[in-house]
Amino acid sequence: MVNVLVIDVSGVEYKFALDRAEIVRAEKMGLKLKALEDTPLTQMTFLWAIGLHKIQPKLSNEQCYELYDKYLAENGDVQEVIQFLSNEYGSFFQTTQQSTEETKKARLEVL
């Protein structure tokens, strides 16, 4: 199950989503959420482009960055999108760190 956030830019809907493959792709391409403080615009626009890729893979990064600017110009809430993507990234990481299998335990015996 993948959550999807939909925005409208100039009358066209665009969808944002992240899954494991997109996160791995983003990290290989240099996404560093910890760098948001040092290079916020670079990291936010990159995360924006990564979020669009899952459902609109034919959009180039340049087209994604243009959509970012258009959405801003139309008074779109870019922070809402970035927050959604950050939350999706974080929740994916948390859930993949938890095992769904029962842990095998040792048995204690008294002799």
The percent of residues above 90 in pLDDT, for the chain, comes to: 49
Q: What residues form DSSP beta bridges with 62?
A: none
* 84-106 pLDDT, tens digit each: 998 888 887 655 444 445 655 66
| Chain segment 46-81, per-residue pLDDT in tens | 899 999 999 999 999 999 999 999 999 999 999 999
| Spatial distance between the Cα atoms of 101 and 61, rounded to a whole number of angstroms | 39
Does residue 87 come out as left (phi exceeding 0), alpha (psi in the -120 to 50 range) or beta? alpha
pTM of the model: 0.77
Give burial (CB, 10 Å; 0-12/13-18/19+) of 108: exposed
Output 38 or 23, whichever has higher pLDDT: 23
Q: What is residue 101's DSSP assignment? A: S
**C-alpha angle 61-4-23 in degrees, rounded to nearest 5:** 55
Task: Give the start-to-end residue ranges of the domains of the chain.
Answer: 5-95
